[in-house]
Chains A and B, each alone.
Chain A
Amino acid sequence: MSKDQKNMREKLERLSNSLADEIDAMTDEEFQSELEEAGEDITDIASRTRTLISNAMENIGHKKLIAARAGYEHHKSAGHDNILQWSHKRKQKLINQFSQDDNYFEQKLTMAARNEGDSEFDIDSIIEDLIELGIIDDKGNIK
């Protein structure tokens, strides 16, 4: 990147960031009144943004579902010995072996315990980490 180009990029970035800071610094009343003075309809802007975000979240959820299905099919085809098909209790027992002297796992387990609805997912995520790190294999054997 040339000095010239870097200089222009930085200028643009400073201007953009300053504008974003001003938006944050305004009170709700100031922001709303400024939009109204500019002839903009806050409900309309909010509605369009809400739809955009909602569609994006749906899309993210859809991608997760596809990934989860693919994962499930993979594990199914790998046979019933796969650790991810173990019972929740059996998985926890295995992980507890690692957590006793390890703050990282202690913390992860605490988080998993707090997110009751997601605990299965979190436990699976820890197990996947352990497999990726080569600490256990996909049958749950400690290497």
Chain B
Amino acid sequence: MEDFSQIEFASNTDVFSATELRSEIESLRDIDYARLSKKAIALAPGTGMEPNDLLQEALFRALKEKGGRNCPCNVNPAIFLGNVMRSIATHARLDWAREVPACTTGEDESGPIENTPDSAPSPEEATIAHLDYGRIIDRLEEMFRDDPKAQAIIIGDMEGWTPDEIREMEPMSTKEYDTARKRVRRSLLREFPEDPTNE
């Protein structure tokens, strides 16, 4: 039976005030700042936001006194800001995709034109939206064209596969898998392909 006595529940009174959180953020170590910077790079693609803008937006929401996000006192503020960035990124991708809802598939395109509302995106806009995400994914796959192990990891992550499933698709030992994953991580964090939604 699990021991629930160690679990700490955060209530409204267990959160940092904006002033406390500001001070906690100012006291972060170099390594925490570096993690935040790299996480912003990891999370920005497809959002239409630059990594720095994503980080600033997370900060703004975390320090907003009314209606902002609350950082529990038992959570490292760097982890908290990372989670806020993730949430913003998810919503930003959805918003961006809604701005240009696509009708790029044959099925959608065959719909009667007279039923299309005036506010509907033009086929050009829809195609751009389709291509932009497609371009990022194509570039990612292209980056690792000569490295099948790394490419398998990229594809596997995008499909939500487990490490075992990835290794099944591209046979490799655990050590080879770890090394390939490191290559992927290093390359992506150094130069995540340019995000066309930022243009």
Given contacts A24-B35, A115-B17, 8 further A-B contacts (CB under 8 A): A16-B45, A19-B157, A23-B189, A40-B190, A45-B37, A49-B36, A53-B36, A115-B20
Instruction: Return the contact of B39 from the options A23, A35, A42 (Cβ within 8 A).
Output: A23
Chain B interface SS verdict (over half): helix
B182 and A34 contacting across the interface, CB-CB below 8 Å: yes
Q: Are B13 and A111 in contact (CB under 8 A)?
A: yes
Q: How far is the CA of A117 from the CA of B157 in the complex (A)?
A: 47
Interface set of B (CB-CB < 8 Å, partner A)? 12-13, 17-20, 22, 25-26, 29-31, 33-39, 42-46, 52, 55-56, 59-60, 63, 65-66, 79, 82, 86, 89-90, 93-94, 97-98, 101-105, 108, 126, 129-130, 133-134, 136-137, 140, 154, 157-160, 181-182, 185-186, 188-190
* Residues in A neighbouring B30, C-beta threshold 8 A: 42-43, 46-47
- Inter-subunit contact A111/B19 (CB<8 Å): no
Nearest CB in chain A: distance from B94 CB, A: 8
A121 CA to B158 CA, complexed, in Å = 46
Interface residue tally on A, bucketed by range: 35 or more
Across-interface contacts of B157 in A (CB, < 8 A):
14-15, 18-19
The answer to whether B101 touches A1 (Cβ under 8 A) is yes
